[in-house]
Amino acid sequence: MALGTAFGSLLLSVFPFFASAGSAPTDPAAQFQQDPVQKVAAGVLLVLAVIGIVIVIYSLIRYRGSAVGPASWVVLITGAVAFPLLITGVGTILVFQRAERVEFCASCHLTMQPFVDDLKNPKSNSLAALHYRNRYIADDQCYACHTSYGLFGTVEAKKEGLNDVYKYYTRTFHLPIKLKHPYPNNDCLKCHGGSAKWIASHQDYKDALFSGEATCMQCHADSNPAHNIAQNVVPAPKR
């Protein structure tokens, strides 16, 4: 495995686009935010895919679909059973990791690009831009604010995400994009709720916010909207 990972790192250095896919090359902080799990998984996946292709092509040329003798069975099972299962297993780790990136959200650009543009707009006064500009959230900013904690939050996000991907590629989404449910206080309070600075400035409302009687957006929607996309033109979907 160590040899495979080393070989993977070598391949990633030769073909850097496999490792950097989805990350923002213009962001100078990106180089300090290397996720080791993602790096190792990408390396292993790349190695498995390349070796798998070599094995299958060798098997097709050498044995042409016949399985006579143990050697042909070993090659066949390695290429057509073991490697595909390994790749889908390792790939699942990477799928969960990469689906959290801002650039992944932005890849549905017909619908999401205005939100990401606002997020990265240094002049925007939206909450999203404020959090991004000041790196209140180090990375995966969309995911951090739009996913509740815990296993079910993650699973729910993936389920809804797949639904969104389906709607996007079948062009069955409706503009303007809206949240399915009101934005939960929990997704603000999971970070701010324990902050001394926040508690001091929200002394009068914190109980109402914790109990859910009041929502964060009741106050913040006007001064600092979650996303400031009024000036962005959302292009009509192509049919």
Q: Applying CB under 8 A, which residues contact other proteins? A: 17-18, 21-22, 42, 45-46, 48-50, 52-53, 56-57, 59-60, 64-69, 73, 76-77, 79-81, 83-85, 87-88, 91-92, 94-95, 98-99, 101, 103-104, 107-108, 162, 164-166, 168-169
Looking at the chain, the number of H-run helices and the number of E-run strands are 14, 0
C-beta of 111: minimal distance to other proteins in Å? 10
* Cβ-based nearer residue to other proteins, 87 or 157: 87
C-beta of 160: minimal distance to other proteins in Å? 13
C-beta of 127: minimal distance to other proteins in Å? 25
C-beta of 71: minimal distance to other proteins in Å? 12
Cis-peptide into 114, omega within 30 deg: no
Q: What SS3 state is found at 3?
A: helix
Half-sphere exposure of 100 (CA within 13 A, CB side): 20
C-beta of 45: minimal distance to other proteins in Å? 6
Q: Where are the alpha helices (DSSP H) in 107-237?
A: 109-119, 127-133, 141-146, 151-169, 186-192, 196-201, 206-211, 216-223
- Tokens 């042909």 belong to 72
d(CA 121, CA 37): 30
C-beta of 206: minimal distance to other proteins in Å? 38
* Cβ-based nearer residue to other proteins, 52 or 225: 52
* Cβ-based nearer residue to other proteins, 17 or 194: 17
- Tokens 């002394």 belong to 203
* Cβ-based nearer residue to other proteins, 45 or 129: 45
* Cβ-based nearer residue to other proteins, 84 or 153: 84
* Cβ-based nearer residue to other proteins, 90 or 188: 90
